[in-house]
Structure 1
């Protein structure tokens, strides 16, 4: 009985593969035409407004990640510590942030937050924020984008006068400067 089921299964599989092979020959003649018409739509130019928003969102995400890493976890006595879920020391903190913050800022931020003092196995962090304002409390309408922004660099200023710069690295915007 199993031999019959196996033989029937192989026969069905063979017919399916043969049918797929035959149908793929028929569809190859129409594929180049469909691809040629779809390609221009996919490469439509991105507007500067859309690029500005990508830069703004990247800065907000970077700030969220900095807060998550340095200002969320607490020791048993309530002191802020380096979030052990994401990092164990300055180097792993920089590695974690490298997806959100440009390499030029990584040392500055890690050195600012991570202290030499430990609470158990975890490093204590500076309780005062590196950032002079909180971009997470701003709204898009409260920021001013620099008119010289490009597809590779987005600068904007918050209502509090703090200027953020994001730059494109490997097709992704990273926070590169805060003044």
Structure 2
């Protein structure tokens, strides 16, 4: 019984749509409101798309910055010195592997060599306590960020209010930080 009611409802709906389409006057000279809305929405869709891409690049850079703090400025040795976080890495190579999910290979060596020292506290490597980054991206708000007008779907460049420029590039469908100036 329910199937018959559904079929009857679909038949009535189809007839109503067909009747409405046939009764419109001179549709070739006057575009429908739906067509007009679609035509005007198309340029906005590409702008929204780049805005979304810009935000993905910005968020990826914030997450990458947070991972650096987690790896190099969170764990401490028994005497209170900062060490490479043993939960995520134990040495330079495992630190590179961990950060490889957030930073492009062009930055990995520089970043890891900056933070991981040759000194140890027990089995853990001590880290440089001075930040590699001139300002903390985590202290910024998206309203304080200026995105480069030449950004693309695969490359997002932005500057902070402090004048630090971040470049993120898409690698395997996710953004990685490739440069910080």
Which interval holds the TM-score relative to the shorter structure? 0.7 to 0.9
Say which SS state the counterpart of residue 152 (structure 2) adopts: coil
Alignment partner of 1:100 out of 99, 102, 106? 102
Q: How does 1:91-170 map to 2 (within 5 A)?
A: 91-170=93-172
Q: Secondary structure at the match of 1:154?
A: strand
4+ long deviations beyond 4 Å: none
Q: What do you get for the CA RMSD once the two structures are aligned?
A: 1.1
Structure 2 unaligned regions, length at least 5: 1-44
Shift of 1:90: 0.1
Give the TM-score, by structure 1 length. 0.74
Q: CA deviation at 1:139?
A: 0.2
Match of 2:88 among 86, 89, 92: 86
Distance in 1, matches of 2:148 and 2:83, equals 36
User: Could you tell me which residue of structure 1 aligns to residue 19 of structure 2?
Assistant: none
1:111-134: per-residue Cα shift (whole Å, max 9, x none)?
Answer: 000000000000000000000000
**1:75 and 2:96 equivalent?**
no
Q: Deviation of residue 175 (structure 1)?
A: 0.6
Deviation sequence 1:14-72 (CA, Å, 0-9, x none): xxxxxxxxxxxxxxxxxxxxxxxxxxxxxx86710000000000000000001000000
Which of 45, 65, 71 is equivalent to 1:63? Answer: 65
Count of aligned pairs: 136
- TM-score (structure 2 length as normaliser): 0.74
Whole-Å separation in 1 of the counterparts to 2:158 and 2:170:
15
**Partner-residue secondary structure (3-state), 1:110:** helix
Equivalent-residue separation in structure 1 for 2:49 and 2:97 (angstroms): 32
* Residues 83-117 of structure 1, C-alpha deviations (whole Å, 9 max, x = no match): 00000100000000001000110000000000000
In structure 2, the residue matched to 1:39 is: none
Q: Distance in 2 between matches of 1:74 and 1:130?
A: 19
Match of 2:49 among 47, 50, 69: 47
